Structures are given as C-alpha cells and as structure tokens.
Amino acid sequence: MRLILRNLGFYLLAFWVSITLNFLLPRFMPGDPVSRMFARTQGGMQPEQLAQLEKLFGLDDRPLWEQYVTYVKSVFTGDLGISITRFPTPVSEVIGSQLGWTLLLGATALVVAAVVGNLLGIVAAWRRGGVFDSVFPPLLVFVGSFPYFWLAMGALYLFGVTLGWFPLRHAYDAGLTPGFNAEFLASAATHLVLPALTVVAVTVGSWMLGMRNTMIATAAEDYITMAQAKGLSPSRIMFRYAARNALLPSVTNFGIGLGFVVGGALLTEVVFAYPGIGFQLLAAVQGLDYPLMQGIFLTITATVLLANFLVDILYVRLDPRVRVR
Amino acid sequence: MAPSARSRWLRPTLIAITATAALVLSACSAGSGASAGDTSGNQLLTIPREDLATFTRNFNPLSPQAAPMTKEAVYEPLLVHSMADAKDTPWLATKWDQSQDGRSLTFTLREGVKWSDGKPLVAEDVVYTFELRKKVLGGLEYLDKVTAVDERTVTFSFTKPFSPALFEIGGQSIMPKHVWSAVEDPAKFTNPDPVATGPYTKVEKFQAQSYELHRNPGYWQPGKQQIAGIRMLAFSGNDSANLAFTNGEVDWTQSFIPDIEKSFVAKDKDHNHYWFPPAGAMINWQLNTTKAPFDDPAVRKALSMAVDRDQITKVAMSGYAEPADCTGLARTYDKWRDKDLAASCTWTKYDADAAAKALDAAGYQESGGKRKLKDGKDFTLDISVGSASSDWISVANIIKQNLAKVGITATVKTPDWAAVINSYEQGTFDTGIVWSNNGATPYEYFRDVMSSGMLKPVGEKATQNYHRYADKRADGLIEAFAAATDERGQREQVDALQELYDEVAPAVPLFTGPEFGAYTDARFTGWPSADNPYATLGNRNTSTILVLTSLKPVKD
C-alpha cells in the first residue's frame, strides 16, 4: 500500500510538470491564431477581417502568469474553453466527438498486435531455431520497417481500390447514424479492418521480438528444467511456467501503448480519412489553437499517467518481488 | 492431454475467425457502390472537403469556421457576385441604387421570400443582420447607419462616399431577426438547426465524417431547387479526397489533382470534366522595398524582365495559370484592363539580355560572372515560400535559375508557412512568392499593392502590402475610385492606376492563379464551363449558390 501511495505522489508531480509544459510550449511558437488563419486562406480573407476575428475570438492578452492560473484552474474544473480552429465549439465537444473512434482504432490495433505478437514470440522461442523461428521474426521486422504511409497506401489501393474488399474511407458508411443495430455495427467493423490491420502489421514485429527474447532467457531457468523433469506437458510448461514469467516487460509496454492510444494515429487517419484525435491535434498545432492543443495534450498526459499507474498496481499483483522491495 | 488442450483452444477460434471474415467480406460487397451510379432522381450531390478531417455542427454565418455550405446553401446574400464573368445577380434584393453623392445605398428586397420556419423576410431582418455583424465582428467602419424605410426597402448611409461597399454589404449572409434576437450570445452560438432562406436548409444525419442538407420546403425559387440535397464528406487531405473523386464516388471537387487528364478525365471521357478558369488572384514575386536594392524601381523592372513567365506557368503551374502583364491586373479583372497599355508592356516580357543591360545601367555591374551591389558585395537574395506549396516552390526555383543567367545568386528558402508569413508581416523578408487581394473590383488589389492604406513600418504587423510600397499618387486615385459613383468614373481611376503600376512596378507580377474545379456529370448536369461561364467550379465561394441552383439530377 505504501508503495502505491509513494507512486501516487510521483504521478502527481509528473502531472504538474506536464500540464505546465502543455501550457508553455504552444506559446513559444511564432505567430498568432488569427494570422495563421489568414495565411491559410491565401488572399481569401480581407485584411479588415483580421481585427474582426481577434475581437470575435476574444484572444487572451493578459500577462502569462495570469493566464497560467486560469489554465490550472480550468484543468481541475474540466472547463477546457472554446476551440479557435473550430470556433465556437467547446474543446470538450471537439475532443469528445473524435475520442471514441480513436480509442476504437487504437485499442483494437494495440490488443491485436500485442496478443498476436506475444503468441508468435512464445511459439518462436519455444521452437528456437526451427523453421517458424527463422522465418517469422525477420519477416515481421522487414514489414515493420516499411514507412507506414507507404504500406497503408499500398494496402488501400490493393484491398480497397483494386480488389474492392474493403471500404476506402471513414469509420462507417456515409448516411448511417451510429447506434446499436446490425447494419451500423457491420459497417463500422468493415471500415475498421484495413486501418487496424496496417497498424498491426507494422507493430506486431516488435511485440514478437520482445517476447521471444525474454522467453529464451526464461526458458533457461532452473524451474523450467524442473518442470520438464516432473514430466509436465510441454504446452503447460510453455504457457504457465515460461510465458507467464516472460510476460512482465510486455505488460509494461502494453500500459505505455494504451496511454498513447488517445494521441491518435495521425497517418492512419490521413490515409483512410478515419476520424480521430491525431489529425485534430495536427490542425490545432498548425492553427495555433491553444485551447484545443491544451485539451488534447491534457487528455494524452492524463491517460498515459493513468495507464502507467494501473500497470504499476497490476505489477504488484503479478510480480511478488515488487511487493517485497 | 496436450493435443486435446490445444484443439479445445484452437477450434472455436478458427471458427470465429472464418465467420468474421465471411461477415466482413459479404457486408463489404453489399455496402460499396450503393451511392455511386444512383440516378433515381433523388440522388444527393456529393461534395468532399479535403481540408476538413471532421465536421462540427456549427451553422453560424458569423463564424469563420461555420460548417461548409452555411454561406453557400443555407443562408443567402442580397446579391451574388460571380468571379467567373464578373456579373452581379440580384438575389434577396431585386435592385439597388447608389445615391448621387455616393454616401448611401438603397436595396429593394424581393417579394415572397420566406424563412424556412415560414415567416416572411422583412427589411428589419437586414437591419438586424448588420447591427449584429458590427457588434460581433466589428469592421464596416464606413457604415454610419442602416434604416428600414419600409417592409421591403433598406438604406445604408456611409460616413464617406464609398462605392466598394456594394460588394461587402451585398455579399453578407442575411439572418432572421426573430431567431437571433432571442440568442443570448450570438458570437458563441453554434446554430445547430438553422432558420434561413437558402435552397438547402434542413440539416440531416450530421456526423463528424459526413452530413446532409435537404430541401427548404418554402424556398422562393422552387424551380431552381432541382437536386434533392447535398451530402458533404470530410477528408484529411488531397490524396484520400482525390481517390474518392477519381473512383466516381463524389460529384464535385475543387482540390488540386495532379495530371488531371490522365488520372481523372481518361477514366470516363464522356462524363469526367474539369475547368480551371484564371479567376484566382494575381500571384506576385514581392520584393521587400525597404531593403536596397529593391527600393529602386529600375532594379525591380530588371528583375522582372529576367523572369521567364512562360516557363513558370507551363512547368511549375502545369499550364493551369496565365502569365501576368505590366498592368498588374489578374485575368479576373479583364474588363478593367487597359488593352493598349497591356499591348505595349516591356518589363514583364522575358529578356535576359535586356535585364542584364538594365542592371548595368542602374549601376549594378557584373564582374567575374557575379553581379555586384553598389557597395561592392555580391548581388544575392533569398526567395521565401512555405514548405507546403510545392507548386510555388517550383516557381521560386525557376526564378532562381533565371536570375543565375544575369549573375544574381538566389537562395530558395522553404520553412513552414507560419514562419514565412511571420517574416512577411514583420517586414524582415528579402523576397517571396505572395498572393494578392481578389475583390469584386480592382479596388482592394491596388490599395494593397501600392497605396499607404495598408502600409505598416518594418517591425509592425502588416496584413497586406508585405513589400511595403506606397505612392502618394496611388492614394489619391484609390480614394477617387471609392468616391466615384458610376463605372465610368471608376474606370478613369483604374486606367490611371494601371499606368502608375507600369511606371513604378511596386511588385513583380507573375501569373493569375487558376480556380480549380472538376466534376462528373454522370449524376448531375448543368455545370458551369468555358462555354457557359456563369460561375467558377469552386464549391466554397460566392458563386457556389449559382451552381447549386442550376444543377439538375440525371434521371433514368
């Protein structure tokens, strides 16, 4: 328990540091939101409109420390303000409308990659030097080292355009209304396949390699020899004795990965026109939308810290050695 | 024991995977192609937005980020100005009159126009719209008072004679007073269910990735409301939007498509078309006139002569742009152009030898293959362009090659646009490829390129006239243009402005930018084209409403 409390203190400090950075970093960027907007339209806006927009947005020109105090207050009250690039929609609404899809895509890809990667790693390590072990790791590392953009585009053209197996864009067919009915769920599922698979394809290799290496180290332990001497079935030894102990680093990685899911998958969103936080964050940075940037960074920070905290607690349960220390 | 354990685990999984795959594949083949090829007569006009990855439900016409079509199909202006043929079409107003002294403007509203909630459009709505706009956005400094003379007549009085007001006032989306006066904070109101006069006001199936606009049942010109509705699709970039377009799944796009003949037209020659009229703004090579030697008109003209505009328009702009002449006017303003002056241009014609001679004569001699400044240093310059604009970067690179021929070393700098704009605004840049103002008349253009109206000293934020050039004579002509009450009076001033432009060369005009637009007429007909240029093929400008009210669905 004391361990958890000590960790909690550390997490609070980390949280404060990161929300402060979230506040400061955007403000070091050159320019201001209105001239960014003006520049993007390239002559489509009259110069007189600049002053009008500054008035409309009510841009904050108070001293930085006063803004900081208001900001810290807003972090705890959950009032994230109004987005500038999506004026006058509140930041919480902008994030809320995208977050579901980001979580669906990111979590699906993460879980599939982690489960498949770990299973492959276990099998490869168990049959070390076999055909499986010599083919899969190099192949997956090869696929994983492709530029993601290229791989996703290739998959889109092959499976979407040429073969027509999967839809080309969006999270579900245009014209459907989200709800728990078979038509919508089937549409959402088919739209998820290609984006998620491309992410899995480039990430599964590192899961497999990581698991394989820890497994090999674990397999050399005395208790494995002991188990074999007892005459236990190979699969029981593989999963219950070796894999369970080799799983710890993967749990850590899973926690970190889970935290970063909310940051969105920018390139996936761009290629498949999939709604999500990633592109929203890019747009916010390009448009110097301070409130939206802060909101998204805050969501990411909070989730990463929360995920890590949960992993810490899970560790206490999984690994008795942590409890003793 | 071991095999049975494995098969227990494997069998259900395999069955599940096979079942899922089958479901996925069947659902997919049923789903795709449902909208493409629909010619029932009720098909929706499908338009992609390549620049908006997601939509937010905001139909507030005062918001700069209102959902697409808010100002094009939902709300309507008093008059519609088309950049394609420079014509004004009476819209919510049937006519307008300028007073003799140019200090007031009177609009007569159309009879029988109703808001989508059934209430009639009255003069009070127009008065309220402008009150609200001034309160929320400010601006319109020249506007003194708006009065409703009677139910259908509105008079705008100005603090000074100001004829360009017609387009700013006439283009404003008119809002219903009975709705907006009840809104607590109109600036922050997202107006999810708009009450408006436009042809397509009913918002349906609004999602982050797509939404639909359906017919306004009480529209004032039902005969022009032939399409059943509009469907907007969100895309996070040109690539995915163009894929949907070349695949025949959307009807009308204005995103840039490389090699359009091959990648789009060739797929279906009968139905796939494009039209890129030169209706965009003049794109200039702006030289920072606060820095020597760019403060010398002779140098500006010589540099202009060194630039090969044909190569720029053909190679860098893929043949989609039109080279500029010494009037400085974009092709949009053809009816204002001084034809005699344009025929006798010298400094906008490519001639490297003449450019070298002109530089020699101005005191910038060449020695050892390098041209020298008056203080003996090498004549070098930077050209800044934002990294996102690949076509303009090619333009800058061609200029760089052209300048090498006259002994000048240019460096093309391509940081992020934000950094480039910042150097423009603060006046710290050397030279850059810059757009210009594209108003209904050349008023805004000439004001911003050579008068002191928008001039700011170096170090102070400028929004136009980045090159910081002003001429007293231009100020007088611009003011006289604004005060002129008829087109003949305005024309005199524009002629004089063109002559002045030719004399002082405030910037180096390069080309008129094209207005991109492409469509398929497999599902809808009646598009604007070179033969029938009633509007551009832009789907987010003032003439978009003309296209929406001209299209007819194909019906089998």
Angle at B24 between CA B20 and CA B28, to 5 degrees: 170
Q: How far apart are CA B201 and CA B70, in angstroms?
A: 9
A194 at interface of B, judged by CB pairs closer than 8 A = no
Q: How far apart are CA B208 and CA B211, in angstroms?
A: 8
Q: How far apart are CA B408 and CA B431, in angstroms?
A: 13
Residue B179 has pLDDT above 90, yes or no: yes
Residue A98 tokens read as: 């995208």
Rounded to 5 degrees, what are φ and ψ at B156? -105, 125
> pLDDT grade, residue B36 (50/70/90)?
low
Cβ-count burial B22-47 (b if 16+ within 10 Å, e if not): eebeebbeebbeebbebeeeebbbbb
Contacts of A43 in chain B (CB under 8 A): 281, 435-438
pLDDT above 90 as % of chain B: 63
CATH 3.90.76.10 fits B79-180, yes or no: yes
A52 at interface of B, judged by CB pairs closer than 8 A = yes
Residue B194 tokens read as: 């708009």
DSSP assigned state of B204? E
Question: Mutual orientation of helices A277-286 and A290-318 as an angle, nearest 10°?
Answer: 140
Number of H helices, E strands in chain A: 16, 0
Q: Scanning every residue of chain A, which has its alpha carbon at the shortest distance from the alpha carbon of B462?
A: A47
- What's the confidence (pLDDT) of residue B30? 35
Residue B181 has pLDDT above 50, yes or no: yes
- Average pLDDT of B22-33? 38
Residue B162 tokens read as: 């100001």
pLDDT above 70 as % of chain B: 93
Q: Scanning every residue of chain A, which has its alpha carbon at the shortest distance from the alpha carbon of B454?
A: A47
ipTM rounded to 2 decimals: 0.80
Tokens 């840049």 -> residue: B429
- What's the confidence (pLDDT) of residue B461? 82
> pLDDT grade, residue B27 (50/70/90)?
very low
Q: Which residue has the higher pLDDT, B394 or B4?
A: B394
Sign of CA dihedral B137, B138, B143, B145: positive
> pLDDT grade, residue B514 (50/70/90)?
confident
Q: Which residue has the higher pLDDT, B230 or B141?
A: B230
- What's the confidence (pLDDT) of residue B400? 96
Contact B240 A273 (CB under 8 A): yes
Question: Mutual orientation of helices A290-318 and A248-261 as an angle, nearest 10°?
Answer: 160
CB B12 within 8 A of CB B526: no
Contact A47 B63 (CB under 8 A): no
> pLDDT grade, residue B463 (50/70/90)?
confident
- What's the confidence (pLDDT) of residue A314? 84
Contact B243 A166 (CB under 8 A): no
The candidate with the shortest Cα–Cα distance to B280, out of B188, B386, B392, B368, is B392
What's the one-letter identity of residue B306? A
Q: Which residue has the higher pLDDT, B460 or B355?
A: B355
* pTM > 0.80: yes
Q: How far apart are CA B350 and CA B347, in angstroms?
A: 8
The candidate with the shortest Cα–Cα distance to B200, out of B176, B233, B226, is B226
B56 at interface of A, judged by CB pairs closer than 8 A = yes
B233 at interface of A, judged by CB pairs closer than 8 A = yes
Q: Scanning every residue of chain A, which has its alpha carbon at the shortest distance from the alpha carbon of B35?
A: A174
> pLDDT grade, residue A42 (50/70/90)?
low
Q: Where are the alpha helices (DSSP H) in B138-230?
A: 165-170, 177-180
- What's the confidence (pLDDT) of residue B497? 96
Torsion of CA A60, A66, A72, A73, to 10 degrees: -90
Q: How far apart are CA B400 and CA B402, in angstroms?
A: 5
Question: Helix (H, G, I), strand (E, B), or coil: what is residue A64?
Answer: helix
Residue B99 has pLDDT above 50, yes or no: yes
Contact A167 B28 (CB under 8 A): yes
Q: How far apart are CA B142 and CA B124, in angstroms?
A: 21
- What's the confidence (pLDDT) of residue A15? 87
- Average pLDDT of B500-528? 93
Q: Which residue has the higher pLDDT, B20 or B78?
A: B78
Contacts of A126-132 with CB under 8 Å at 24 or more apart are A126/A215, A126/A219, A126/A234, A126/A238, A126/A242, A128/A216, A128/A219
The candidate with the shortest Cα–Cα distance to B474, out of B328, B278, B274, is B328
What's the one-letter identity of residue B142? Y
Residue B59 has pLDDT above 80, yes or no: yes
> pLDDT grade, residue B358 (50/70/90)?
very high
Cβ-count burial B307-320 (b if 16+ within 10 Å, e if not): bbbebbbeebbbeb
> pLDDT tens for residues A53-79?
777 776 667 788 888 888 888 888 878
DSSP assigned state of B315? I
A150 at interface of B, judged by CB pairs closer than 8 A = no
What's the one-letter identity of residue A164? G
CB B232 within 8 A of CB B55: yes
Q: How far apart are CA B12 and CA B392, in angstroms?
A: 59
> pLDDT tens for residues B268-292?
999 999 999 888 889 999 999 999 8
> pLDDT tens for residues B103-140?
999 999 999 999 999 999 999 999 999 999 988 887 78
A179 at interface of B, judged by CB pairs closer than 8 A = no
B137 at interface of A, judged by CB pairs closer than 8 A = yes
Torsion of CA A25, A26, A30, A32, to 10 degrees: -160
> pLDDT grade, residue B390 (50/70/90)?
confident
Distances (CA, A) of B497 to B294, B329, B340, B488, B493: 21, 10, 14, 14, 6
Residue A1 has pLDDT above 90, yes or no: no
Contact B24 A189 (CB under 8 A): yes
Domain B282-512, second-level architecture:
Roll (3.10)
Domain B25-72+197-277+517-553: CATH superfamily is Periplasmic binding protein-like II (3.40.190.10)
Tally of CA atoms within 13 A in the half-sphere of B191 that contains its CB: 29
- What's the confidence (pLDDT) of residue B139? 79
Q: How far apart are CA A133 and CA A129, in angstroms?
A: 6
Peptide bond before residue A88 is cis, with ω within 30 degrees of 0 = yes
Cβ-count burial B63-101 (b if 16+ within 10 Å, e if not): bbbbbbbbbbbbbbbbbbbbbbbbeeeebbbeebebeee
The candidate with the shortest Cα–Cα distance to B224, out of B552, B553, B549, B551, is B549
The candidate with the shortest Cα–Cα distance to B24, out of A197, A63, A69, A307, is A197
Cβ-count burial B179-197 (b if 16+ within 10 Å, e if not): bbeeeeebbbbbbeebbbb
- Average pLDDT of A196-203? 91
A153 at interface of B, judged by CB pairs closer than 8 A = yes
Comparing A227-231, A253-257, B75-79, B385-389, the range with the smallest average pLDDT is B385-389
- What's the confidence (pLDDT) of residue B18? 41
- What's the confidence (pLDDT) of residue A23? 85
- What's the confidence (pLDDT) of residue A60? 67
> pLDDT grade, residue B351 (50/70/90)?
very high
Question: Would you list the domain boundaries of chain B?
Answer: 25-72+197-277+517-553, 79-180, 282-512
A56 at interface of B, judged by CB pairs closer than 8 A = yes
Question: Helix (H, G, I), strand (E, B), or coil: what is residue B143?
Answer: strand
- Average pLDDT of A26-41? 74
> pLDDT grade, residue A43 (50/70/90)?
low
What's the one-letter identity of residue B384? S
- What's the confidence (pLDDT) of residue B1? 32
Most confident of B46-50, B83-87, B260-264: B46-50
CB B124 within 8 A of CB B206: no
Residue A6 has pLDDT above 90, yes or no: no
- What's the confidence (pLDDT) of residue B26? 37
- Average pLDDT of B487-507? 94
- Average pLDDT of A21-29? 82
- What's the confidence (pLDDT) of residue B213? 96
Domains of chain A in sequence order:
2-76 (no CATH), 91-319 (1.10.3720.10)
Contact B187 A38 (CB under 8 A): no
Residue B502 has pLDDT above 90, yes or no: yes
- What's the confidence (pLDDT) of residue A132? 87
> pLDDT tens for residues A78-110?
788 888 888 888 888 888 888 888 999 999 999
- What's the confidence (pLDDT) of residue B394? 92
Contact B32 A29 (CB under 8 A): no
Consecutive H or E run containing B284: strand B282-287
Residue B317 has pLDDT above 50, yes or no: yes
- Average pLDDT of B210-236? 94
DSSP string, B86-109: TEEEE-SEEEEEE-TTSSEEEEEE
Beta strand segments in chain A, E: none
> pLDDT grade, residue A177 (50/70/90)?
confident
> pLDDT grade, residue B28 (50/70/90)?
very low
> How many whole angstroms from its chain centre is CA A150?
20
- What's the confidence (pLDDT) of residue A40? 67
- Share the mean pLDDT of chain A: 85
> pLDDT grade, residue A45 (50/70/90)?
low
